[in-house]
Structure 1
Amino acid sequence: MLFLANVLELNGGTTFILRVAREYAAKGRRIGVLVMFDIVNGQLEAELLKYADVYRLRDHAAWGTRSLFRSQLGAFMPLNKTGLDELVCRHGGHVHVMGVFGVLLLRRMAGMGVALKGVSFGIYHQNEIMYQSVPAYFSDCAQSLFSALPAPSVVFFNEHTQRSHESFFGRDYGGASVLPIGVALPAWGGRSVGDSGSLRLVSIGQLHPFKAYNAHVISMLNELRESRPGLVYEIYGAGVNEAALRALTKHHKVEDFVHFKGVIGYEEIPAVLAGSFAFIGSGTSIIESSALGVPSIVGIESIKAPLTYGFLSEIEGYSYNEADGTQPLSAIKDKLLYLNDPSVWESEAQACRRKAESFSIEHTVEGLEQLATQSDALRSFRATEYRNGRALLSFLWWALKERLGGPTTFSMRREQGSVKRPARKW
């Protein structure tokens, strides 16, 4: 299987690929990773190369355009078919797409005659391809191409995202795969790495506005400290929302009790969680914390009120990040104060650990392996119109409009929360 990755940075997509590559390598196989844009963390690449073959799309550029692959422009640059054909063949003929620009590149590869035996598209964020209408040709094409993929080639990582895409695109995705966004579960040592008497509340993840739980905890920290004197909130990660969060700590006069710890490596997570009282967050980090036996509270994306679905152990299936309107809500503050009882803390620590087991990377790779055995002629996908030159011009025009203060509907699509109505008739 060949993964189309936008970049190799410290983010959820890269760490997911790394976990998948390790599991495949443990089975005696190596995946391929084709990096579309030259935004690469050298340490992450070196680690990934232990388990996977890593390639750069720029190496298949035509007409001296390699320098343009430092940005999303690379998705539209002229490419040489021969090398891409050999690359896809080397990894079994199956290409796994991870985003908007990947599906555009996939359509170009199909149009060039690259021998694709099968494809799959993973929905790693609910709004990566499901977002409100962006009146630009490249965007319309990306959504149309996704909609033209056969349902069995789509991979959802929770049930809510599957249902919401069915509503948005007006399609039945009952034949799609629903897999856990797997983690490599740490060996269980018989007890939690956390501490019921600790005064450390921890979050780990990139600091984006849609990760609303950071702001909610900061806003209620004074109240929490009344019931648990000395409590501090440690935030690990960086991102565009850091300045706003720091300003919020000053507004609530809690800057001395909120510690911004910066970015950490994946392998540092167990040490960071050691001796912590509780975790609040989303993405794979909440699974990591739960697997280590730390009571872990779900941070719902883009939710305006300080509410949660509760502990990870209280979630049915794999849906926990998105606001889906079907699961009961509780106040974040109530869930944290509930843990003040040591016996309750221990019970929730064990329950979260058990729930984390269902998110094992082994289950994920088993599902991906099954996908790789499927083939499809992709007739509807190949028949969907795509003109690369027009797509490039529309992308440049949209990017210029955003730069000049126009709508940021595309670049900020992940901040839209749950999209209720389809952008248009597909």
Structure 2
Amino acid sequence: MLFVANVLELNGGTTFILRLARASHRQGRRIGVLVLFDIVNKDLAAQIAEYADIYYLKDFAPRVLRPMFRRQFGTFMPVSFGAIEALVEKYNGHLHAMGVFGLLFIKRYVASARRVKLVSIGIYHQNEIMFSGVDYYFARQVQLLFSTLPPSSLVFFNELTLASHSHFFAVDYYTANQVPIGIDLPEWRGRGVGNSASNRIVSIGSLEVFKTYNRHVIDLMPALRELRPGLIYEIYGGGSYEAELRQQVSLQGVEDIVHFKGAIDYSSFPKVLEGAFAFVGSGTAIIEAAALGVPSIVGIESIQDPVTYGLLSDIEGRSYNEFDARLALRPIAQVFSSLMDERQWAEASYACRTKAETFSIDETVNGFLLMESRSNDLQAFSALPYSNLMAFSSFLLCAIRDRMKKDVRFSSRRNQGSIA
């Protein structure tokens, strides 16, 4: 399969590619990765290149246009589809989109009458495709294209996103592919890297507005310090929300106990968690922390109150990031309080490790392989009218308005939360 990735920077999508490429390589298969935009973390790219073949879309474009691939504009630029067709054939005729721009690019490829056996798309964030209020041609086309794909083309990583997309698009997706988001399970040996006597609460991940748990923990730190003197909160990562979080730290007067540690290499994840008391987060980071035996508290996306479903081990199934009104909520402070007891901490550590085992990357690889054995009817997807010029023009207008802060609805779509 040939993954169509936006970038190879340090984020959940890129680290997922690394894990899946490594697991596929163990099974004797080498995947391909076509990177749309020239935004690359060289260290991560080098790690991926050990197990997968990496290609850059700019290399298939006229040299004079290559600067356009530094941003999303590259999606719409002229490229040699004949050369890309050779790549598609090399990877079993399977093109896998990882987001909006990947889907638009694949539509262009299919519209050029090039051969493809299977088109698929993964829902790596609940609001990547499922958003509202973005009235531009390219955005409307993305949702129309998605709705024309058969369930056999879709990859959902948890039950809630499958159900919400079925409701939002009024299509029965219950026969779609369901796989875990997938992590590499560390060697257990009966113990984890956490420490019940530690004073370190840790979060690792990009700092984005929808990850409201960072702010909640900052606000709770004065009260948590009363429960456990010496407690500190370490935040690893960077992003658009960092400035606002720093302001919140100043407002709460907790500069001495909340530490912004900056971005880390993906390979440093276990080292950073060595000796941690607890982890708070979402995405694959919380699964990886749980797999290391650190009690891991679920950070629900876009939730405005300091509440949680509890520990990752309290979750049934694989849905934990998104808000689900049917699930019971607990104050985050209450979960922290329960971990102050050494026995309960040890039980939580083991339970989180056990839960993480259900997210094995090997199961993810097997799910992708099974998908390639299914039939894939692309007739409706191919027949849907699409103008690349109109898509580019509408995206250009969107980008200008976004830059002027007049309309940020598309760039902030991931902050919409559960809308279905």
Report the TM-score when normalising by structure 2: 0.99
Query: Is contact 1:310-1:335 (8 Å) kept?
Result: yes
Cα distance, 1:375 vs structure 2? 3.6
Native 8 Å contact 1:234 1:260 kept in 2: yes
Corresponding residue for 2:254?
254
Moved more, 342-351 or 367-376: 367-376
Corresponding residue for residue 313 of structure 2: 313
Shift of 1:265: 1.4
Q: Is the contact made by 1:141 and 1:385 (CA closer than 8 Å) also made in structure 2? A: no
The aligned amino acid for 1:283 is G
Question: Alpha-carbon deviation of 1:68?
Answer: 1.1
Residue deviations 1:7-58, cap 9 Å, x none? Answer: 0100000000000000011111110000001111111111111000000111
- Tell me what 2:400 maps to: 400
**1:41 aligned to 2:41?**
yes
**Matched residue, 2:410:** 410
2:347, 2:393 → 1: CA distance? Answer: 57
What amino acid maps onto 2:156 in structure 1? Answer: F
Q: Deviations over 1:127-146 (max 9, x none)?
A: 00000131111111011001
Deviation of 1:374 after TM superposition, in Å, equals 2.6
* C-alpha contact 2:68 2:74 (8 A) present in aligned 1: yes
Q: Which residue of structure 1 aligns with residue 374 of structure 2?
A: 374
Match of 1:233 in 2: 233
Aligned position for 2:354: 354
Q: Verify the 8 A CA contact 1:196 1:346 in the aligned structure 2.
A: yes
1:189 Cα deviation after fit? 2.2
Q: Residue type of the partner of 2:166? A: E
Q: CA deviation at 1:106?
A: 0.6
Aligned to 2:91: 91
The Cα offsets for residues 177-234 of structure 1, whole Å up to 9 and x where unpaired, read as 1111000011102112111111111111100111001000000100000010000001
Separation in structure 1 between the aligned mates of residue 63 and residue 200 of structure 2, nearest angstrom: 55
| Aligned 8 A contact 2:185 2:357 in 1 | yes
Q: Deviations over 1:92-115 (max 9, x none)?
A: 100111000111111111011221
CA distance in 1, matches of 2:305, 2:377: 46
| Counterpart-to-counterpart distance in 2, 1:297 and 1:127 | 22
Q: Deviations over 1:149-203 (max 9, x none)?
A: 1111100111010111011111100111111100001110211211111111111
TM-superposed deviation, 1:405: 2.5
2:253 matched to 1:267?
no
Is 1:183 the counterpart of 2:183? The answer is yes
Paired letter, 2:34 = L
Aligned residue pair count: 420
Contact 1:218–1:258 under 8 Å retained in 2: yes
Deviations 1:380-424 (A, max 9, x none): 00011110011111111111122223121101100111113xxxx
User: What pairs with 1:7-406 in structure 2 (closer than 5 Å)?
Assistant: 7-62=7-62, 64-406=64-406
**Quick one: distance in 2 between partners of 1:189 and 1:413?**
42
Deviation at 1:373, TM superposition (A): 2.2
Deviation at 1:376, TM superposition (A): 2.1
Output the amino acid matched with 1:402: D
CA deviations over 1:57-93 (Å, ceiling 9, x no partner):
1121148422211110100011212101101001110
* Structure 2: tracts of 5 or more residues without a match: none
Q: In the aligned structure 1, how far is the partner of 2:347 from the partner of 2:81? A: 57
CA deviation digits over 1:329-356, x for unaligned, max 9?
Answer: 0000000011111000001111111000
Give me the whole-angstrom Cα distance separating, in 2, the residues matched to 1:43 and 1:392. Answer: 32
**What do the CA deviations read for 1:301-343 (whole angstroms, capped 9, x no partner)?**
0000000000000101000000011111000000001111100
Partner Cα separation in structure 2 for residue 375 and residue 117 of structure 1: 9
Distance 1:85 1:419 in 2: 37
Report the aligned-residue RMSD.
1.0
Q: Secondary structure at the match of 1:284?
A: helix
Rounded Cα–Cα distance in structure 1 between residues aligned with 2:90 and 2:335: 50
Rounded to whole Å, the distance in 1 between the matches of 2:107 and 2:158 is 26
Letter in 1 for 2:316: E
Distance 1:402 1:261 in 2: 29
Counterpart CA distance in 2 for 1:395 and 1:63 is 22
How far, CA to CA, are the matches of 1:400 and 1:269 in structure 2?
Answer: 37
Q: State the distance in 2 between where 1:54 and 1:375 align.
A: 27
Take 1:88 and 1:62, find their aligned partners in 2: how far apart are those partners?
A: 20
Query: 1:389 and 1:315, CA in 2 relative to 1: closer, same or farther beyond 3 A?
Result: same
Q: TM-score, normalised by structure 1?
A: 0.97
Aligned CA distance change for structure 1 residues 39 and 63 (closer, same or farther; 3 Å): closer
Q: Percent identity?
A: 54
Separation (CA, whole Å) in 2 of partners of 1:413 and 1:71: 18
Distance 1:187 1:114 in 2: 45
C-alpha distance in 2, partners of 1:326/1:180? 22
Paired with 1:385 and 1:419, the residues of 2 have a C-alpha distance of 27
1:424 equivalent in structure 2: none
